[in-house]
Structure 1
Amino acid sequence: MPKRNNEHISIKDALKEFVETNKLDKGLDKVNVVDAWVKLMGNGVNNYTTGIRLERETLYIQLSSSVLREELSYGKQKIIIMLNEELGKEIIKKLILR
């Protein structure tokens, strides 16, 4: 059993240490990417989004509308920049719309 730390630390720091110790960053990034997509794209795009998956540094978005897919493909780089800004770090390097 690990030793108890008698120092007073904030909950934010304790959770950050817990995430780093248990290597949970990748899983949290996957959840945060989904939340960022929903927040930034709004209801119009989210109604046609059927799947969101992050693998390595590539974000896969499944869309049910070919017209919307084509429209979003013109602004891929801007979408990547917006999502990374929302997440606070560069997680996404490539966006694939399906």
Structure 2
Amino acid sequence: MKKKREVKDMKTAIASYLKANGLDELYQERQVLSKWEDLVGKPIALRTDYVTIREKVLYVELSSAVMRDELSKHKTRLMKLINDEAGFEMVKSVFLK
């Protein structure tokens, strides 16, 4: 007798696949970083050359020294924005370059 297959919606199936392959955290990071302009605003986003998250550290490379200095004063707020968007503690520290 054939075993019945469990029917899942596409979102659940993809989430299960990502988790099984250890890609769920990377996927969540990419989802949050794709909203970078919405999170930090257009002026900062325009001056951002590179942004990534590695080992719970947010790395941001900016083309403007003035913007980098301003952002360095608001690292805690930036971490909170990212973590609130993710729904968990995705970032523990920020490195600006």
Q: Common fold, TM-score beyond 0.5?
A: yes
1:80 aligns with 2:79: yes
Paired residues of 1:51 and 1:63 also in contact (CA < 8 A): yes
TM-score (norm 1): 0.85
User: Could you tell me which amino acid in structure 1 is paired with residue 50 of structure 2?
Assistant: G
- Shift in Å at residue 75 of structure 1? 1.0
Percent of aligned positions that are identical = 29
Paired residues of 1:36 and 1:87 also in contact (CA < 8 A): no
Paired residues of 1:63 and 1:97 also in contact (CA < 8 A): yes
Aligned to 2:41, what secondary structure does the other structure show? helix
1:71 aligns with 2:58: no
| Aligned CA-pair RMSD | 1.7
- Shift in Å at residue 25 of structure 1? 2.1
Aligned partner of 1:24 in structure 2 is 23
Paired residues of 1:36 and 1:83 also in contact (CA < 8 A): no
Paired residues of 2:32 and 2:82 also in contact (CA < 8 A): yes
- Structure 1 stretches of 5 or more lacking a match? none
Distance (whole Å) between structure 2 residues aligned to residue 93 and residue 42 of structure 1: 21
TM-score (norm 2): 0.86
- Structure 2 stretches of 5 or more lacking a match? none
Deviation track 1:13-71 (CA, whole Å, cap 9, x = no partner) reads 11111111111124313412421322211211111000112110101100011111111
Paired residues of 1:52 and 1:62 also in contact (CA < 8 A): yes
